[in-house]
Structure 1
Amino acid sequence: MAKADMILSAARVLTLDPARPVAEAVAVGGGRILAVGRADEMEPLVGPLTRHHVLAGKTLLPGLIDSHTHGLWGACQQLYQIFLGLSAEVGAVLEAIAARAQDWPADSWIIAGAWRPNERPALGPCPRLLLDRVANGRPVVVKDATYHNFWLNSAALRAAGIGPATPDPAGGTIERDETGEPTGILIETAGALIQRFLDPSADQLDRAARHMAGLFHSLGLTGFKEPMAFAPELRAYAGADLAGELNLHVAAHLTRFSPASEDWVPMEDLARLRRDHVAPHLHTGFAKLFLDGVPIARTAAFIDPYPGEDPAGHDPERHLLIAPDRLCDELVALDRAGLTVKMHAVGDRAVRAGLDAIAAARRANGFSGLRHEIAHANFIHPDDLPRFAALQAVAEVSPRLWMPNPVTAGQRAVLGDARVETCHPVRSLRAAGAEVVYGSDWPAAVPDANPWIGLVGMITRRDPSGRFPGSVGAAEAIPLAEALPIFTVNGARALGLEGLTGVIRAGASADMVVLDEGLDTMPPEEIAAIRPAATLFEGRVVHGGL
């Protein structure tokens, strides 16, 4: 019998394994869990080199999984960009840009954030001029809170070749004044015109990958899904993994179409990316499509009109970034190619289009075993709730985006209270038999990647800090016992690693988190404040200590 490298005992082990939900000891060997149970059951696994850690009543649970986080984007924001938070006033952002512009290289872009699209009128008729006054001639771009829209100064517009004659790209808008001059605001796919200036260097991405890994481990994350990957991101993830510096299970969704790319990425390029970026913990059998925009910019696709919009002139298809027929063809082809598809869909018309496309793939290919995802799934028509289970589709929800936060007031102003209260119907999805996974969407519209705050958002629909009062969709809250599997077991299944991670069970990878207190006895405010005492990946301590 193989002997354990390590035994953890005197713990409250929340296994997330229905066969044995609670235990007191875990044996680990060769990066895998050898046994779970009582302390005396571990004795046959003790050898001369076995390390024994008595946890003295601490809680042990599987590492958490974020099914939608732009890990490298977030790390680059922290390392290289100006980011004053989602509540920052425009004046403060301008002051920070002015300070950086004093000694910034003349031809290098200053990247900052964030502004809120619902507050666009406060930027005046020509927002680029506000930036011109503080930029010291440097090109500047300010990302909005959602990462879907951009505010540029004149130098940046010139560098990107955007002028009065530049046509609006399909699905996007170059905002113009009454003379036809760009004002500096780029909406949705128009952002692709500047993407090449925003891309970090290979060295910056390598540093960002290491920074991200340390950050995620400190939060108790041992796996995540990168929702929008191109070749540079894949190279950085694979390189970090091969160097032993990643220590995370990563599923990367290869971008087929997004507002950040000026055209569709050819299918043969997706195949090449899968072939060329191979690493033990990097999984690339995934693809990404964008179906609509975001409500706060009035670019999400809804079946019913926005408040104040003339119902007679409402076109539910207007904000769909991919025509429904084309989308169905795409799902059939991507499913046949063995790629699990994540579709950004916020409005209920976009969600329905995504489900229709999955239905087309099921009709054409049968059930391939791939469980395609509707990302965000903020607003779902009641008629579409049972379709998730029927199609074996996954609803990804983002409680960090929809519990009260700095953007909520803008969402209410744009959508009205009644519609906002229907967002993320987690309880209704579960009642309809749907599989649900958690995604933070960091750094888009959330200040950090902390999953514990997301967990509290799901079980209370409130901001645990109390800074933003009230609730959003309170009737859709679910208890901790139902929410925790969404962050573990379900996340592992979405990674394609069901049974390998997200659970404490013999044979699984030893990916675990140690907490000082009992998670299942904490009030929500304390859950939100959790800082793991230790995080283990494949049996190695990658954060904290035992």
Structure 2
Amino acid sequence: MNTTHQTPHETADLIYRNATIYTVNTESPWAEAIAIRGNKILAVGDGESILAYQGETTKVINLNGAFVMPGIHDMHCHPDWALAGEFSYYQHWPQFPQSVKEMEDKLLALDKELPEDDWIYAGPINPFAFQQEGLGMDCHWLDKLLPHRKIALIDGGHHTLLTNSTTLTLAGITEDSLDPSNGCIIRFEDGKPNGLFQEGAQTLIKAVMPEIPVKDFMGMFAKGAKLLHAQGITSAKFLHLNTPRLTALRELDRQQRLNLKIEASISWKDDVVCVPDRWELMAGKRFEFMSDHINANSVKFYLDGIPPNRTTFEKSQFNLGGTLPRIKGNKFEVHDHRDHDHAAMSEHSSCCLSGGFGVVNFTFAELCVMVEDMDRRGIRVVAHAIGDQAAHWYVSAVERARKINGNQGPRHQIAHSNSILNKDIKRARDANMIIEFSPQMWWPSQITAALWRLYDKEKADRYWPFREAEDENAFYCFGSDWPVHGLQWWNAIEAMVTRRNPNKDPEFDYSMGENMGLSIEEAIRALTIRGAYAMNNEDRTGSLEAGKDADFIVLNHNLLEIAQDEIHSTQVLRTIFEGAEVYNQKDHQ
């Protein structure tokens, strides 16, 4: 067992000893102790040699054989969405409503509770309940229930907003209103808006809603950081942000209440939140929010939608909803469905060179010039791309940007990557792109079973193909997409390996795709050093080596020794961020 250190005569502030340390350093993967000075790792190695760094004031902590590994990187999460119900006027329903009647009861209770001039902003609504009961999920339903109340209801993934006629009038939405380029105003057959707004069209309503104060966002992010620490997270990407949210993060960091390495990704095209100062941020205002812990050099957008709405952008038709149009750009019909290499085409060819099914929120020309511009500015682009055709388009746009700007640009990120094709995994690798897999749902369950029915078996078995990404030596990482599907990292890590339901549900006792899992060593690397690479922090964190930041976690058992189907029972005992303990399980018992 080797010991790595900077100089043999430095004294440590802190030593953790008698541990089983998995360093994720290929040259020296195992150690027994770690010495810390300030926020940096001074040395990692065997117990005897590390104790040589002990001085008169050094604090020594005996971990009694506990397993230690680098901190986890959550490369896709939304703490402000998760905690808005606790810190703002958003009314979060913690129990997903199972019927339309249950939603009606909740709304009527809010109507009695709140002053009549207040907004009802609530969710998540359950669109499946309307389908199952044969009821229209539209403004007519809300008009009968709460005709005079200003109201906005959202789904759990923040892809759909529902409102009533009073709010449509307040927002100035009529049958003459045009769809934004990145979303859709759903309409009745006569062309009048039916109260549903998908993707970026949501912000047509949010623009007239009360702004949430910065102090409320501070509450969301501060508590969110603590919840992430409890899961073993030391680095994360927070997505779909605007200036109030960036301001909240900056102030928390100044107050040392964040204790995370954060990539703060600005919402592009008002997909979820309104960003009226977008071009000021792009021109340089974003630099005001940068620190040692916050990087705001990133933008995020929805390239396509979500499977339950059948608005993902796919190469082949869904099994359900056979009337969905083939599209070009935003809801235009495509007649040529051949598969072409977009990167070789001119920007004026647009997206009609390769058709698809579902919804896409850009024309191919717009996508290409936007990515080229951001790439030239050094801004990472994170594109929500669930459908295989959406991922194909995005990789093509980045390839084109690389040809124009050179290969040294940002590591652009494909978000979700549910059904990315193998050929596009290879192309993304060659374009130095990050393939991010989320949300944490890659195991058989009621939700994934419903998704599978949308696709043929071959496509369903490949859903979240991280085995292929590993085999192709692609740059990939994982995200929770919290709160879209909870914050359950240890269930997710088990399923990265087994592709089976970690809760042992007998109804879903089968594998999600054969031979698609990772080894536990591969999963740990994806969560640590690969995550650091996705944040351009691989020289700073992601493995336990001398000179790197002291970001690591202490667990209750050795992940490389326990049975695969016991990984979900893992408990985080301590989380250390830059040498400081930010979570201790004993404080929460």
Answering whether residue 367 of structure 2 is matched by residue 367 of structure 1, we say no
Paired residue for 1:407? Answer: 447
Three-state SS of the structure 1 residue aligned to 2:68 is: strand
CA spacing shift, 1:126–1:172, aligned 2, 3 Å: same
Structure 2, gaps ≥5 residues long: 1-8, 328-333, 335-354
Equivalent residues in 2 for 1:85-484 (5 A)? 85=95, 88-117=98-127, 120-121=130-131, 122=133, 124-125=135-136, 127-132=138-143, 135=146, 137-196=148-207, 197=209, 199-260=211-272, 266-307=278-319, 309=322, 315=334, 316=355, 319-398=359-438, 400-444=440-484, 446=485, 448-467=486-505, 469=508, 470-484=510-524
Which amino acid in the other structure matches residue 217 of structure 1? H
Q: Deviations over 1:422-478 (max 9, x none)?
A: 21111112212211110111122x1x2232222123112223123561443343111
CA spacing shift, 1:63–1:77, aligned 2, 3 Å: farther
Q: Deviations over 1:272-311 (max 9, x none)?
A: 3322213321111222233111122111111122225369
CA spacing shift, 1:421–1:151, aligned 2, 3 Å: farther
Which amino acid in the other structure matches residue 82 of structure 2? G
Which amino acid in the other structure matches residue 213 of structure 1? A
Three-state SS of the structure 2 residue aligned to 1:216 is: helix
CA contact (8 A) 2:413 2:434 kept: yes
Q: 2:529 aligns with which of 489, 493, 500?
A: 489
CA contact (8 A) 2:305 2:311 kept: yes
Q: Greater shift after overlay, 32-41 or 91-100?
A: 91-100
Three-state SS of the structure 2 residue aligned to 1:533 is: strand
Which amino acid in the other structure matches residue 251 of structure 1? E
CA distance in 2, matches of 1:199, 1:433: 44
Paired residue for 2:352? Answer: none
Q: Greater shift after overlay, 99-108 or 46-55?
A: 99-108
CA distance in 2, matches of 1:159, 1:264: 19
- Note the C-alpha offset of 1:333: 1.3
Which amino acid in the other structure matches residue 98 of structure 1? L
Q: Deviations over 1:201-245 (max 9, x none)?
A: 212111112111111111111110112221111111111001110
Answering whether residue 511 of structure 2 is matched by residue 499 of structure 1, we say no
Three-state SS of the structure 1 residue aligned to 2:403 is: helix
Which amino acid in the other structure matches residue 38 of structure 1? D
CA spacing shift, 1:310–1:190, aligned 2, 3 Å: closer
CA contact (8 A) 2:439 2:482 kept: no
Would you say how many aligned residue pairs link Structure 1 and Structure 2?
A: 544
Q: Deviations over 1:326-383 (max 9, x none)?
A: 2121222111111122111111111111111111111011111521111111112333
Three-state SS of the structure 2 residue aligned to 1:166 is: coil
- Note the C-alpha offset of 1:406: 4.6
CA spacing shift, 1:271–1:452, aligned 2, 3 Å: farther
CA spacing shift, 1:298–1:252, aligned 2, 3 Å: same
CA spacing shift, 1:263–1:202, aligned 2, 3 Å: closer
CA contact (8 A) 1:118 1:297 kept: no
CA spacing shift, 1:311–1:277, aligned 2, 3 Å: closer
Which amino acid in the other structure matches residue 527 of structure 2? F
CA distance in 2, matches of 1:276, 1:306: 45
Which amino acid in the other structure matches residue 109 of structure 1? W
CA distance in 2, matches of 1:405, 1:114: 20
CA distance in 2, matches of 1:209, 1:538: 19
CA distance in 2, matches of 1:198, 1:524: 48
Q: 1:28 aligns with which of 23, 27, 36?
A: 36
CA contact (8 A) 1:86 1:145 kept: no
Three-state SS of the structure 2 residue aligned to 1:237 is: helix
CA distance in 1, matches of 2:236, 2:50: 31
Three-state SS of the structure 2 residue aligned to 1:225 is: strand
CA contact (8 A) 2:411 2:433 kept: yes
Q: Greater shift after overlay, 490-499 or 526-535?
A: 526-535
Q: Deviations over 1:49-89 (max 9, x none)?
A: 11111111111111111011112222224545323345744
CA contact (8 A) 1:131 1:153 kept: yes
- Note the C-alpha offset of 1:323: 1.3
Q: Greater shift after overlay, 121-130 or 516-525?
A: 121-130
Three-state SS of the structure 1 residue aligned to 2:318 is: coil
Structure 1, gaps ≥5 residues long: none
Paired residue for 2:26? Answer: 18
Q: Greater shift after overlay, 85-94 or 417-426?
A: 85-94
Q: Deviations over 1:254-275 (max 9, x none)?
A: 2333523679975443233322
Answering whether residue 569 of structure 2 is matched by residue 523 of structure 1, we say no
Q: Deviations over 1:80-110 (max 9, x none)?
A: 5323345744443433333333221323333
CA distance in 2, matches of 1:198, 1:435: 41
CA spacing shift, 1:393–1:126, aligned 2, 3 Å: closer
Three-state SS of the structure 1 residue aligned to 2:459 is: helix
Which amino acid in the other structure matches residue 336 of structure 1? R
Paired residue for 2:340? Answer: none
CA distance in 1, matches of 2:258, 2:531: 18
Q: Greater shift after overlay, 477-486 or 367-376?
A: 367-376
Paired residue for 2:337? Answer: none
CA distance in 2, matches of 1:128, 1:524: 49
Q: 1:2 aligns with which of 5, 10, 16?
A: 10
Three-state SS of the structure 2 residue aligned to 1:414 is: coil
Paired residue for 1:58? Answer: 66
CA contact (8 A) 1:101 1:134 kept: no
Which amino acid in the other structure matches residue 489 of structure 1? I
Q: Greater shift after overlay, 32-41 or 283-292?
A: 283-292
CA contact (8 A) 1:404 1:462 kept: yes
Q: TM-score under structure 2 normalisation?
A: 0.86
CA distance in 2, matches of 1:2, 1:486: 33
Three-state SS of the structure 2 residue aligned to 1:459 is: helix
Three-state SS of the structure 1 residue aligned to 2:61 is: strand
CA distance in 2, matches of 1:114, 1:404: 23
CA distance in 1, matches of 2:45, 2:326: 63
Paired residue for 2:75? Answer: 67
CA contact (8 A) 1:113 1:143 kept: yes
Three-state SS of the structure 1 residue aligned to 2:546 is: coil
